Amino acid sequence: MNSRIQNTSPFLWAEVYPEAIADNCRLARRTVPENTRVMAVVKADGYGHGAVQTARAALKSGADCLAVARLEEAVTLRRAGIRADILIFGAPAPEQVDQLLEQDLIQTVFDLETSTALSRRARSLGGRLRAHLKVDTGMGRLGVVTVREGVTETEPHGEALDQAEAIACLPGLGLEGIYTHFARADEPDRDFTRLQLARFHSVVDGLRERGIEIPLRHAANSAALLAMPETHLDLVRPGLMLYGLTPLVDKSPAELGLSPALSLKARIAQVKRVGPDFPVSYGSKYATDGETWMGTLPVGYADGYRRCLSPGVEVLFRGRRARVAGQVCMDQTVVDLGEAEAPQTGEEVVLLGEDGNDRVSAEELAWICRTISYEIVTALTSRVPRVYRATSRGGGALSFTRSRSQP
């Protein structure tokens, strides 16, 4: 029997390589000073790779703590037995303070009104909520707004420092950190990022002059971590780079020494031999050029293999490229296999990842869809089982899970 169809994996799955995540985390650790802490960002279920597995790999490989977007994500990690510090980036509700205290989580605070409500709730429960203060230096999302106008203004306005000071002095909060988020660190021109950093330092210095010293300062995402050593400060927050995806628009993962940590694979559900002008998929916009083999794959946009990939996207079959024929459908996609020798039902096709000497990268798929690699991997839905393997080159399976949220 052909060895390609002996595996008993499902007809569609994503392979995740924890050792690649570990390698990428070790790269982050080597890149920053020894006394700079590493906060592994595992929000969005570890960017689609599995938050629990990603967190464990990172914590074993140089990460000191973790970050997520929402309380529910942090609770999932705690229930899996992960006790490391976890920072929640997103906005909280006062009624969530109970769980924040119970689970020993760190909450982002960003304005006086919300912070006061959290403080009151924490005090009513007899606790003190661990918190990091976020300042908006130019991203325009959450955070105490440091400047109101002007693209070159650096010094924070007085009300910003007043608000930050008031938050720092709330009795129900234990302010352990202060941070900002860069809007354009991925771009080759880093003038705006340097401006944001200058604004951040101005806020920290202004608070220090008022007698407020916050222990941890952090600003660097993956892009700044790799390209701007001056942003490393007390802590860095690698996210995208942990998953082997490039955070810099002018550098490939290989150029940065990153190892992609996820592949998407499917097995052929049906093979057909068809002649020229054979129409395929909705709208009949694709027709075959001549006699060819067609393979139907059980994957579609409901799995996160997006409709915008067609036309133009290619897959890997037996180490060579084959084009998707017609539109990606909700649950199925057809591939024109060309003159391949007798394709078989059950043979493996790589939609994202490597086969032989070629690779279909998340960056390539993102380019076709005019989006970013983040969206390609986080779009993979819970319908796609995750299989955890030691390596992308034929390693044995470590574990298998059908739910992205399971530990």
| Tokens matching residue 362 | 């998340």
Q: Are 214 and 165 within 8 A, CB to CB?
A: no
CA dist., res. 48 & res. 240, Å (int): 11
Q: Are 399 and 29 within 8 A, CB to CB?
A: no
Helix 158-168 and helix 112-124: axis angle, to 10°? 10
Name 294's bridge partners: 272, 336
Phi, psi of 136, rounded to the nearest 5 degrees: -90, 105
Which amino acid is residue 62, in one-letter code? G
CA dist., res. 284 & res. 140, Å (int): 45
Q: Where are the alpha helices (DSSP H) in 185-229?
A: 191-209, 222-227
* Nearest CA-CA partner of 61 in 86, 89, 94, 84: 84
CA dist., res. 203 & res. 15, Å (int): 44
Task: Reply yes or no on whether 272 is catalytic.
Answer: no
Annotated active-site residue in 17, 47, 272, 282: 282
Annotated active-site residue in 43, 179, 265, 374: 43
Residues in Cβ contact with 386 at an 8 Å cutoff, skipping those fewer than 6 apart: 13, 14, 15, 16, 49, 50, 53, 400, 401, 404
Cα 191 versus chain centre, distance: 25
Q: Which residues of 183-197 are buried (b: 16+ CB within 10 A; e: fewer)?
A: bbbbbeebebbebbb
Residues in Cβ contact with 85 at an 8 Å cutoff, skipping those fewer than 6 apart: 64, 65, 66, 106
| Tokens matching residue 252 | 């490939």
Name 134's bridge partners: 179
144: helix, strand or coil: strand
Cα 184 versus chain centre, distance: 17
Residue with tokens 């900002």: 180
CA dist., res. 253 & res. 368, Å (int): 18
Q: Are 207 and 168 within 8 A, CB to CB?
A: yes
Task: Reply yes or no on whether 282 is catalytic.
Answer: yes
Active site residues: 43, 282
